[in-house]
């Protein structure tokens, strides 16, 4: 099931942060991603189903940075005046039509340039959750989606890393090293299907 909704704009106000992730102001999404980028707060979500498969999305071809790349379930930014809890729930619904409980894992800072077109310079909060079912994707944001088991995903990353977003690769390495045993096999009752 799919839909088309405009849910983001280059003018939306994102939260600028310092090296300790303290808020220091706001700036437009476009300005945050121009050139070398401005350090701003972001989030990434990884959803697993009860078969321990990860839900991946292929970014829309219309995305200004990393278009048509495969990435984690959902990633975006809290907006000015919005808590992280509000932001992750909003974006899961906007992109995938999903509502579920999320658990915070960790946060980290990274920078990745997309040629000369712009950069991600983010303090990213990483969340995990469990969801069984088919998302209702927003085609303005997502070109495709699929569930993939961990071993197949690892093999794909090793064979063709250029098909995946840089933040996904960084986050997956940390999740595998420090969090995966606690995530897999724990789908249980944490799920709320919308």
Residues known to be catalytic: 75, 122
C-alpha atoms less than 13 angstroms from C-alpha of 33 in its C-beta half-sphere: 21
Strand partners, 32: none
List C-alpha distances in Å: 34 to 3, 64, 117, 126, 141: 29, 10, 7, 23, 20
């Amino acid at each position: 099931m799919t839909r088309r909704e405009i849910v983001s704009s280059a003018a939306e106000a994102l939260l600028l942060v310092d090296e300790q992730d303290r808020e220091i102001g706001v700036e437009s999404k476009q300005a945050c991603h121009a050139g070398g980028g401005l350090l701003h707060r972001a989030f990434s979500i990884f959803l697993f189903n009860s078969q321990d498969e990860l839900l991946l999305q292929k970014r829309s071809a219309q995305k200004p940075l990393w278009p048509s790349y495969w990435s984690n379930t959902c990633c975006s930014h809290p907006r000015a005046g919005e808590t992280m809890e509000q932001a992750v729930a909003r974006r899961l619904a906007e992109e995938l039509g999903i509502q579920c409980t999320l658990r915070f894992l960790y946060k980290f800072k990274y920078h990745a340039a997309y040629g000369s077109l712009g950069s991600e310079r983010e303090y990213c909060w990483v969340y995990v959750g469990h969801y069984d079912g088919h998302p209702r994707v927003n085609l303005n944001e997502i070109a495709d989606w699929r569930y993939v088991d961990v071993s197949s995903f690892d093999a794909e990353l090793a064979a063709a890393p250029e098909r995946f977003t840089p933040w996904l690769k960084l986050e997956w390495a940390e999740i595998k090293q420090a969090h995966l045993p606690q995530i897999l096999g724990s789908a249980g009752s944490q799920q709320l299907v919308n």
